[in-house]
Amino acid sequence: MEPVSTRRLSVPATDDGIRAALDALEALTASHGLSKAVTWPVGVSLDEVLANVVRHGLEGRGGEATVDLEMRLDLGVEPAECEVVVVDDGPEFDPLSVPEPDRALGIEERPIGGLGMALVRRLMDEVQYERRDGKNRLRLRRRLVAMEA
């Protein structure tokens, strides 16, 4: 088996596109026998990033806009590593610049929203943002080990 397995795809900037991307990630990891017990943090993070891009960055452009994805599994290292790059041509936006929500607030004051990228930062080993060729490029990487808070 090749130690590195990649999957490239473009999905529309819609709910169906998000679903297709998450399905593709599951299919890629499952095809190499990786358990959901170790892949779920990548799924959560990809959902957070795509929800941001589709609902904000590309909002209003509907099915015309697309998001390009490159998923890469490195099975030649122990533990295996998963990398996902998400590219969109929306306005320049670094999701890592969003401040974290205040975790000390009680249930009444807790704002609805602002949590997504905070989770991505904690779930991934590495998150990198880059504006290149007029596009936003976010790279997520995680070593596929079981995780418990």
Partner 1 sequence: MHIGEERVGGALVIAPEGRVDSVSSTELERLVVSRIDAGEKRLVLDLSSVEYISSAGLRVLLMAAKRLKGPPAALVLCGMGPSVRTVLELAGFLPLFAVEAGREQALARVRG
Q: Which residues bind partner 1 (CB under 8 A)?
A: 15, 18-19, 22, 36-37, 40-41, 43-44, 47-48, 50-51, 55, 103-104, 106-108, 110, 112-113, 115-116, 118-119, 122-123, 146-149
- Nearest approach in angstroms of CB 146 to partner 1 is 7
For residue 91, is the peptide bond before it cis, meaning its omega torsion is within 30 degrees of 0?
no
Burial tier of 32 (Cβ tally within 10 Å: 0-12, 13-18, 19+): middle
Of 54 and 87, nearer to partner 1 (C-beta) is 54
What gap in Å lies between CA 138 and CA 75, rounded to an integer? 22
- Nearest approach in angstroms of CB 85 to partner 1 is 19
Burial tier of 40 (Cβ tally within 10 Å: 0-12, 13-18, 19+): middle
Cβ contact 53:136 at 8 Å? yes
Cβ contact 83:37 at 8 Å? no
Of 30 and 77, nearer to partner 1 (C-beta) is 30
Of 23 and 94, nearer to partner 1 (C-beta) is 23
- Nearest approach in angstroms of CB 107 to partner 1 is 5
Of 4 and 105, nearer to partner 1 (C-beta) is 105
Beta pairing partners, 135: 132
- Nearest approach in angstroms of CB 104 to partner 1 is 8
